[in-house]
């Protein structure tokens, strides 16, 4: 795996545990020579994970929409900063560049990015792993929602297996290394499992 896109909060969160986890993830990416692909901003956990990769000798590519440049403040010392026109272009570029995706704790923006990429995987538009780094049990309610979806047959069991969760960056990368994407979703012919 050469590159991983990280989605995370443009805020730092309430506890230092979030900041420490973002640093650990950045260190682990750099140690494994995995390029960080992220939103390009210098704020919140986004800036922290980028700094951690750079401080440990790794590479970081930021993808930032022009209109957000003032609000999110472009990181000044990335390996590469790609400016795009829109949020859609940002996500498309991140998908193109990354071999896998990890969500750290964040707000609605983080979840939006995670869900769009997750559903693209479900539709077979990519075969790349998507993980929730479950720091401080932050994603427990979301994981429980996935269980509810499966139990109520709004999500097939094989797609439930696409919800990769781990509490450590090392564990997540290990799971990514053996990930196999499920076969493509077909609404018309597939049996519900």
What residue ranges bind ligand AMP (CB under 6 A)? 9-11, 39, 41, 68, 72, 87, 91, 106-110, 112-113
Q: How far apart are CA 64 and CA 72, in angstroms?
A: 9
Do the Cβ atoms of 60 and 38 come closer than 8 Å? Answer: yes
Supply the DSSP string of 112-172, one letter for each residue: HHHHHHHHHHHTTS----EEEE-GGGTTHHHHHHHHHHHHTTSS-HHHHTTEEEESSHHHH
Of 107, 135, 115, 126, which Cα lies nearest the Cα of 25?
Answer: 135
Minimum separation from the CB atom of position 17 to ligand AMP (A): 17
For ligand AMP, the closer of residues 54 and 84 by Cβ is: 84
For 102, list phi and psi in degrees, rounded to 5. -130, 130
Length of the chain: 193
Minimum separation from the CB atom of position 119 to ligand AMP (A): 13
Minimum separation from the CB atom of position 56 to ligand AMP (A): 22
For ligand AMP, the closer of residues 135 and 156 by Cβ is: 135
Residue nearest to ligand AMP (CB): 109
For ligand AMP, the closer of residues 92 and 158 by Cβ is: 92
Minimum separation from the CB atom of position 49 to ligand AMP (A): 12
For ligand AMP, the closer of residues 118 and 156 by Cβ is: 118
């Amino acid at each position: 795996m050469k590159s991983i896109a990280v989605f995370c909060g443009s805020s730092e969160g309430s506890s230092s545990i979030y900041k420490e986890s973002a640093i650990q993830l950045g260190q682990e990416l750099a140690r494994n020579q995995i390029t960080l692909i992220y939103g390009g901003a210098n704020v919140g956990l986004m800036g922290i994970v980028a700094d951690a990769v750079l401080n440990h000798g790794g590479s970081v590519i930021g993808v930032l929409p022009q209109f957000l440049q003032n609000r999110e403040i472009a990181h000044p010392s990335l390996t590469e900063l790609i400016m795009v026109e829109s949020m859609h272009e940002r996500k498309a570029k991140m998908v193109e560049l990354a071999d896998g995706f990890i969500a750290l704790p964040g707000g609605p923006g983080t979840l939006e990015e995670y869900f769009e990429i997750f559903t693209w995987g479900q539709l077979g538009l990519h075969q790349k792993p998507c993980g929730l780094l479950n720091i401080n049990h932050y994603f427990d309610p979301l994981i429980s929602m996935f269980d509810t979806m499966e139990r109520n047959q709004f999500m097939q069991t094989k797609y439930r297996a696409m919800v990769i969760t781990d509490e450590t960056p090392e564990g997540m990368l290990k799971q990514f290394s053996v990930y196999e994407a499920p076969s493509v979703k077909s609404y018309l012919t597939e049996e519900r499992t």
